[in-house]
Amino acid sequence: MKLSALQPSNMNRRNNSFRGSAPLDSSSDGSIKSPSAIFWLILHGLCCLISLVLGYRFSRLVFFFLFSTSATNLYTSPFRSAADLSQTLNFNSNPIVIPELPFNRTAATTTTTAAATTSSSRVVVGRHGIRIRPWPHPNPDEVMKAHRIIERVQMEQRLQFGVKNPKTVIAVTPTYVRTFQTLHLTGVMHSLMLVPYDLVWIVVEAGGVTNETSSVLAKSGLRIIHVGFDQRMPNSWEGRHRLETKMRLHALRIVKEEKMDGIVMFADDSNMHSSELFDEIQNVKWVGAVSVGILAHSSETDESSVSVIEKKEDGENPSMPVQGPACNASNQLVGWHTFNSKPYSGKSATYIGDRAIVLPRKLEWAGFMLNSRLFWKDAEEKPELVKDLDSLDGVDEDIESPLSLLKDISVVEPLGSCGRQVLLWWLRVEARADSKFPSGWIVDPPLEITVPSKRTPWPDAPPELPSNEKVAVGVQEHIVKHSPKTRTPRSKRSSRSKRKHDTKIVDTQLPMRHSEQN
């Protein structure tokens, strides 16, 4: 006890010599009472000594780890002594700096008392601790709350600056069961799940409604009308395009019968839609068109075909052809950019799954949006723009694009700053028609065939070295190493000599090493 009582007074004396101002003694003497204070003083002294030896980073590190957020007294009056500072867990514990601080503090106090105009400020100049809470990592509850705040702010932004009275989006997707259906359909599904407006998704499936498609669609939580179409999807691209057109017309008939109100857009299942597209189509009055980027790639583009394409389109953007409305300088619709399929003639794919470029039509359905009221039988204020759907039932001609549905093409409204923005991309990627894939993409039961790998990834397996036949012969009996994964040419000898052991002992160990050990 005596020693411990002596030590704080020693500390005081040391600090006193630095300070040299009498009034500050009493405060320090009077406040050192509790054993925790003494403990902290001893620790402080130790840190000072260590810091003198090492340099002053040590104290900073130690106190960073020890610090808790409950320190309250960092900002009280500037009349604190160095001993008091250590009591309150302040890590101004650099012995080189501490002597300066009281000088500064006293200087500051003299100026403030001399000025006598302001009351003592809570905020003090000088070194302060860097507060770190005990576990400085994100809290998941707060992260969720923050995301809800962000959502609410964005909703408010949409209300204020976005579209007033947003219309329902009616997305029409023709699909059928095939290898890549899950891939494509999930992509469209996720894009549609992010649409901030009301959405109805009409999925028309060739070959009838199947459980496969339904199970994919069930994960979305969207309002889905899933209907089947009685024909099977043919194997050629030409036939597929025709059938898809018929399926889309079937969906439009549903829109007409249900008297759905909104904007019809055609979301083919392998296309990619940007979220700005859904904001842009809210501006459609009756018929709108956007620019579609065509990604007509195949895995084996010829050198020759690429160079042909580049020659034709030098000066323009050579990398991606774009289909859509063409405008003049005063933003009026003057024509259409269509897909130029001449460079690909003869090299395009005919059958689904061919390893050649899949070409789009001249104008794809996906680039057009229609107000659903155009299809209602008897709506007021409906302009007579569209031929009656019933009249198209028996007709055999190929309806290439919605332009054929219109009586007058010039009423089309170009969207996306008059066709300058590409808001969706057309792509057709399919596997071979006869490719096998696990139904629902669920692998059940687990695969039975296991093929041993040629190289073992585990580090404790010994590496292979070139064989030395003579040494190997004498050492075979002693080799016990099991390594069934690799086989060496010497295995013939080893297996011959060890067949009595009837285990799959394969010699991969260095015979040199074993001979040394033995």
Does residue 317 interact with another protein by CB under 8 A?
no
DSSP calls for 60-82: HHHHHHH--TT--GGGS-TT--H
| Pick 10 or 139: Cβ nearer another protein | 139
* Residue 229 β-bridge partners: 206
Q: Of the candidates 92, 93, 175, 181, which one interacts with another protein according to CB under 8 A?
A: 92
Taking the complex as a whole, how short is the minimal distance between the CB of residue 59 and another protein, in angstroms?
Answer: 10
Total chain residues near another protein (CB under 8 A): 51
Q: Which residue among 37, 38, 74, 177 contacts another protein (CB under 8 A)?
A: 74
Under the criterion CB under 8 A, does residue 131 sit at the interface with another protein? yes
The three-class DSSP label of residue 301 is: coil
Exposure string over 434-448, b if 16+ CB within 10 A, otherwise e: eeeeeeeeeeeeeee
The angle at the Cα of 191, spanning 189 to 193, to the nearest 5 degrees, equals 65
Which value, to the nearest 10 degrees, does the dihedral of the CA atoms of residues 349, 353, 354, 356 take? Answer: 60
- Asked if 126 is part of the footprint of another protein (rule: CB under 8 A), the reply reads yes
Question: Token pair for residue 468?
Answer: 């030395």
Among 23, 138, 457, 463, the residue binding another protein under the rule CB under 8 A is 138
Nearest distance, CB of residue 400 and another protein, angstroms: 35
Closer by beta carbon to another protein, 111 or else 391:
111
Nearest distance, CB of residue 226 and another protein, angstroms: 32
> Per CB under 8 A, does 148 bind another protein?
yes
**Exactly one of 149, 218, 409, 512 binds another protein (CB under 8 A); which one?**
149
Given 49, 66, 77, 145, the residue binding another protein (CB under 8 A): 145
The strands making up 199-206's β-sheet, listed across from edge to edge, are 223-229, 199-206, 169-175, 263-266, 368-371, 287-289, 413-414
Tell which one of 5, 61, 66, 150 touches another protein (CB under 8 A). Answer: 150
- Segment lying near another protein (by CB under 8 A), choices 109-117, 313-321, 365-373, 475-483: 109-117
CB of 508 to another protein, least distance (A): 45
Residue 311 engages another protein in binding (rule: CB under 8 A): no
Q: Please tell me whether residue 99 binds another protein under the rule CB under 8 A.
A: no
Neighbours of 170 (CB within 10 A): 29
3-state secondary structure of 31: helix
Site for another protein contains 142 (CB under 8 A): yes
Q: What residues are paired with 426 via a beta bridge? A: 294
Q: Which of residues 158 and 253 has its CB atom nearest to another protein in the complex?
A: 158
Of 126 and 484, CB closest to another protein: 126
CB 68 → another protein: shortest distance, Å? 10
The 154-193 contact track toward another protein, x by CB under 8 A, reads x-xxx-xxx-------------------------------
In contact, 95 and 117? CB cutoff 8 Å? no
Q: Does 137 bind another protein (CB under 8 A)?
A: yes
Q: φ, ψ for residue 456 (rounded to 5)?
A: -85, 135
Stretch that binds another protein, among 69-77, 207-215, 246-254, 330-338 (CB under 8 A): 69-77
Contact 204, 174 (CB under 8 A): yes
Q: Rg of the chain over CA atoms, in angstroms? A: 40
Q: Does 65 bind another protein (CB under 8 A)?
A: no
Binds another protein by CB under 8 A, chosen from 6, 54, 61, 143: 143
* Part of the chain binding another protein (CB under 8 A), chosen from 142-150, 241-249, 447-455, 510-518: 142-150
Closer residue to another protein, CB minimum distance, 107 or 409: 107
The full DSSP string for 91-142 is ----TTTTTHHHHHHHHHHHHHHHH--SPPPS---S-------SS-S--HHH
| 144 vs 24: CA distance, rounded Å | 51
Query: Whose Cβ is closer to another protein: residue 49's or residue 146's?
Result: 146
What is the number of other CB atoms lying within 10 angstroms of the CB of residue 211? 11
In angstroms, give the least distance from the CB of 89 to another protein: 13
Query: CA 7 to CA 12: how far, in whole Å?
Result: 9
Is residue 417 at the binding interface for another protein, with CB under 8 A as the rule?
no
User: What does the alpha-carbon distance between residue 510 and residue 518 come to, in Å, rounded to a whole number?
Assistant: 12
194 binds another protein (CB under 8 A): no
Of 36, 111, 165, 450, the one binding another protein by CB under 8 A: 111
- Determine the Cα–Cα distance for residues 424 and 273; give it in Å rounded to an integer: 5
Which whole-number Å values give the CA distances from 385 to 246, 372, 409, in the listed order?
Answer: 20, 12, 9
**How is residue 381 annotated by DSSP?**
T
Closer residue to another protein, CB minimum distance, 133 or 500 = 133
Contacts with another protein, residue ranges (CB under 8 A): 56, 60, 69, 72, 74-75, 92, 94, 97, 104, 107-108, 111-112, 115, 117-123, 125-133, 136-139, 142-143, 145-146, 148-150, 152-154, 156-158, 160-162
